[in-house]
Structure 1
């Protein structure tokens, strides 16, 4: 095969034929992380970090001593902060040979529960020069041998969604008995005028 300079990346009706439409499924893929075919990897164009959940880290039998300490927290949608256990650099491969990409990625390893094994964010997409289409549940990126493709797994995306909803329902059920006491002031507050206007 010959090396191809600046391949054109486009999506067609054919790319979407195998999907169940209409859908609002997340882009969930399988990628090779080191020697492991890792399922349930969320492709998140809104994430500024690549994340590997600790349960997946353990299943890969990676020595915990490979974790490089970090004190930079991740801030979630609700403003909650999660402190990673550390950073580990792993080789990931996406696509089918020869139209594939292999790169070293620095993953933040996080110790909380989640329906996914990992999240790939926009820093990695930029390094791949990748283009994602959530409509087609697909990623395409230029390689030395043409356009590489990575297809999403619609069944896995729906399983992850259901698992996340069950986790949220469980957390809400845990908080339903919480009772907060509103404290009344012990004395009347006095108003003080700071400016005549």
Structure 2
């Protein structure tokens, strides 16, 4: 998309020592080649992780569409006037609702840009273009389906050094219940934790009677769509025991309740945790 030059410049990210920006043949791994797909990414905009953000190196403006405008809970009073012409992909003039300045986070780098809010349909929630890319110091490739930035990689050695300075303290000889504490403050923190051990929940059964107004899980489904029935599958004895134990645990905690449906809707999927359980 094209826009006028009246936008204020994006807030520049902090400068530092950055690696070279390159793409390699192995970067194509996981992509279907050849293809003509646009580069669509997920980025943290404001306080939310936003999906379906299109990176368009041919756009001179950042554009926000109605889905994101509503999802961020924005109101017309949050927008500033914007009068420069904005052209769509098909060359037609687009009427703008206004402009709003929001931060976009990439790794540890945050760039503030002006989003032009438009009231028109798009399969994307937003478009980010050259102002954001150039300020971030990034290079986008639709061929490789990747965005390479000059954000320095995390200092893994420093992170490991921090962990080395922590001591694992097991609670009541249960290896799954533990804290990692710095050595200097260990005794003081241990005494504090012992006094307040009742506020920690190690198991769903430890958090009884949570008010649904505080938190409540629900399935994000369209009630007007008829559910699809999956063919029933019997789990193995090992998985069946795990499923029964987990369901009983959640029932005791009051997190779930038993209901009866005339038809089977979905199978239970068992996923092994990182620690092997």
- TM-score normalised per structure 2: 0.48
Mapping 1:49-88, distance limit 5 Å: 49-88=61-100
SS in 1 for 2:96: coil
Structure 1, unaligned runs of 5 or more: 147-197
Cα deviation, 1:146-184, whole Å, max 9, x if unaligned, reads 7xxxxxxxxxxxxxxxxxxxxxxxxxxxxxxxxxxxxxx
CA contact (8 A) 1:72 1:83 kept: no
Cα distance in 1 between the residues matched to 2:110 and 2:143 = 25
Is 1:117 the counterpart of 2:125? The answer is yes
- Deviation (angstroms), 1:144: 4.3
Mapping 1:1-197, distance limit 5 Å: 5-95=17-107, 100-145=108-153
- Deviation (angstroms), 1:103: 1.3
- TM-score normalised per structure 1: 0.66
Q: Which has the higher strand share?
A: 1
Number of aligned residue pairs: 140
**Which residue does the alignment assign to 1:174?**
none
CA contact (8 A) 1:55 1:111 kept: no
CA contact (8 A) 1:4 1:145 kept: no
In terms of Rg, which structure is larger? 2
Cα distance in 2 between the residues matched to 1:16 and 1:101 = 25
| RMSD, matched Cα | 1.8
